[in-house]
Amino acid sequence: MLSDILPALRGLMAENETMPRLRKTEPVGGEPVISIPDNCPDLIAALRAQLSARTQRVTLKGMGTYAAENAPVSGRVAGKVAVVTGAAQGFGFEIADDLARQGAWVALADINAEGVRAAADKINAACGREAAIGVVVNVTEIDSLKQAFAQIVETFGGIDLLVANAGVLRAGSVKTISVKDIDFVTAVNYKGYFLSVQAAAPIMALQHQAAPDTWFDIIQINSKSGLTGSNKNGAYAGSKFGGIGLTQSFAMELVEDNIKVNSICPGNFYGGPLWSDPEKGLFRQYLDSGKVPGAKTFEDVKRFYEAKVPMRRGCTTPDVMKAVYYLMEQKYETGQAVPVTGGQVMLS
């Protein structure tokens, strides 16, 4: 029940379309004590009836005391609560790090328990504040997602931004790729995105009901392979094409809750483990699968792909973050798949 109450309470405490973080604290006396009956038919009305104007600290009977905390630093996303899946390393970690540096509270979510907690600690050390937490999640399992998101809500009070970044790739010819690899890629990239939105959207909807003028964002980190086919990489490209279909469908449905849903389609990010891992990365997979004719080394593979890009380089996290902030700040855009490919893929 707490995971329902806190987003609604956070929305009721909003000022100028900005909601505070809710932090669990000790009572100081004098704060209102709120009691919510079981099976309450109108949670927001029940909360509103027991709150006075500009209440910043409340005790929820049987659940603890929570205080509103505004953004401690300035930035483009100051005070936002963000969740980034697949954030223990690579693109996901760098996205979470940039969001924290721009003033957000960030929950890094990943199946790698040790890695995601270490990543959150690294962000906190760099920011000099408790900006991030690491939560363990398997995006292919709805119960795991609900448990993780409940933990995030109990820590921060709600969610303003979901960056659905978790993704995997298994390259291979349609003639030879295993069913196991197809299922793995589809489960994480397609089903995982669907279930992540299914877990996040109700939280955002509660906040919207309490603060009708506030907008929220879901941004999927897709791929240029979601915009154009990829030779000997059909399982991945198919999952990413499907992800754009989900983005468009979610955008049409969730706009009624003031939730914008968009995808970003980056070009090749050579610096992260998706490409550079010596055993499982794409340099290794593409070299072994013969995807790049005549390639004998990782550098041969890299040069082959860089030659396809008018900008003659790979995509970087700063390139992607410009698109993230644009989509968040632009209130008149939803259901889009924004390419960040250096011209390798051009929309028509």
Residues 6+ apart with CB under 8 A from 307: none
Chain centre distance of CA 257: 18
Radius of gyration of the CA atoms of the chain, in A: 21
Contact criterion met (CB below 8 Å) for 274 and 320: no
Q: What is the largest CA-CA distance in the chain?
A: 75
State the catalytic residue, choosing from 66, 190, 193, 236: 236
Which ranges of 258-297 does DSSP label H, i.e. alpha helix? 273-276, 282-289
What is the DSSP pairing of strand 21-25 with strand 64-69? Answer: antiparallel
Give the E-state strand segments of the chain in sequence order: 21-25, 33-34, 57-60, 64-69, 81-85, 105-110, 132-136, 161-164, 216-221, 259-266, 337-340
Backbone angles phi, psi at 66, to 5 degrees: -130, 135
Active site residue 286: no
- Rounded to whole angstroms, the Cα distance separating 57 from 232 reads 57
Q: How far apart are CA 149 and CA 141, in angstroms?
A: 12
* Cβ neighbours for 129, distance < 8 A, ≥ 6 positions apart: 72, 73
Spatial neighbors of 138 by CB under 8 A, at least 6 apart, are 111, 144, 145
Residues contacting residue 340 through CB under 8 Å, at least 6 positions apart: 264, 265, 266, 267, 315, 319, 320, 322, 323
- Taking each continuous run of H as one helix and of E as one strand, the counts in the chain are 12, 11
Catalytic residue positions? 236
